Structure 1
Amino acid sequence: MNRKKYIRATTAAMLSVGLMATALSGAAIANPCAAKNPCAARNPCAARNPCAAANPGGAKMISRPANYTPYKGNQAQLVKLGEKLFNDTKLSTNGMACATCHQSYGAYNESFAQPYPHKVGMASENYGVGAINLDEAVQMCMIGPMEAKPLGWKSKELAALVAYVGSLQKGFKPAAGQANPCAAKNPCAARNPCAAKNPCAAKKH
């Protein structure tokens, strides 16, 4: 093959490869599986799933310290403060509040109707802890879903949240929380409704 024929053949091959790359690029743009999946939008009840992350020392953080004496105060005032804190996103580091998942009795297991201490699924499954007290459950939510530090064990804030959640417990009926999408027995293991029949995830392209 002479030099001119070689150059023409090489140029034609390069143009062919370029056209193929352009066609493939266009196909990728048109591919619905390449589009941003609307189901990936942040779910406030599953934000940075605490059940999937390692949480070393978590059991110690949610367990009452030795010789623990909780804060004592006027019960009515504590309940009032607790309600305010229950809806306060500033307690977390991720914009969540207790009410994010627990609004209208959402995300409470049936066991919430039982007197404390009792076994709580999240505590046993993720921290290896058996029966827990209500203040320990509050601390568990602080370091888990809310991704924050536990409250001071002798703090007024912890006592207030315990008082308010305790008042909610009195009116709780197991069926009340079932309408809430965060109310699955194990909210961290609950099936993601966006993952069902997802054509982009069903088959590897």
Structure 2
Amino acid sequence: MKKRSIDTPIPMALFGAVVMVMALMISPAMAANPCAGAEQPGVDPSLVTRPEGTELAKGDPAAQIKLGESLFKDTSLSSNGFSCDTCHAENASFNASFAQPYPHEVAMAVERGGITSVDLDEMVQFCLVVPMETKPLPWDSKELSALTAYTAQLQKAFQKAAHP
């Protein structure tokens, strides 16, 4: 049996078709991830930096986590139809630094806001302002407290997966 090289018409056509299909699959995914590129303008750090002396709302931790899980998937929090889950479904789009205790450096906060260290509640606010293109939540709101509590739960699971 004679071997075909990549230069023959059938393998080249097949190769071209595979490349085309992959490009069509990847392009929408990249476009759908608002965190993927640095095309967005910078963020005013005062929008996402907790004012001194401000505390998150207190409440029953289990109730906060339950509300936070619901809010994490709620597209009505954004102006563009995204939710936290759009980028972070099943721990997607978390960098390895997510396993580190907060406060710590987060690449998106550095790149978009020049902020070198964030607490978890500030990162929640940052995600609301940047990828979700909306206003930050009030610092003393039950919604911010709940999203922060739920994200802390996700972080614990992420830490266990990173360090089994």
User: 1:67, CA displacement in angstroms?
Assistant: 1.5
What are structure 1's unaligned runs of at least 5 residues?
1-36, 177-205
Cα pair distance change 1:79/1:112, threshold 3 Å: same
User: 1:53, CA displacement in angstroms?
Assistant: 2.3
Q: Does 1:83 align with 2:83?
A: no
More helix by share: 2
- 2:40 aligns to what? 53
User: 1:51, CA displacement in angstroms?
Assistant: 2.8
Q: Does 1:147 align with 2:133?
A: yes
Query: For residues 64 and 124 of structure 1, what CA distance do their matches in structure 2 show?
Result: 16
Larger Rg: 1
User: Which residue type is aligned with residue 141 of structure 1?
Assistant: C
- 1:114 aligns to what? 100
- 1:168 aligns to what? 154
Aligned-pair identity (%): 45
CA RMSD of aligned residues (A): 2.1
- Size of the aligned set, in residue pairs, is 138
User: 1:167, CA displacement in angstroms?
Assistant: 0.6
User: 1:174, CA displacement in angstroms?
Assistant: 8.7
Query: For residues 73 and 88 of structure 2, what CA distance do their matches in structure 1 show?
Result: 10
What are structure 2's unaligned runs of at least 5 residues?
1-22
Between 1:140-149 and 1:65-74, the stretch displaced more is 65-74
User: 1:173, CA displacement in angstroms?
Assistant: 4.3
User: 1:40, CA displacement in angstroms?
Assistant: 5.5
Query: For residues 113 and 173 of structure 1, what CA distance do their matches in structure 2 show?
Result: 5
Query: For residues 77 and 175 of structure 1, what CA distance do their matches in structure 2 show?
Result: 25
User: 1:45, CA displacement in angstroms?
Assistant: 1.2
8 Å CA contact retained: 1:71, 1:156: yes
- 2:49 aligns to what? 63
8 Å CA contact retained: 2:43, 2:130: no
User: 1:130, CA displacement in angstroms?
Assistant: 1.2
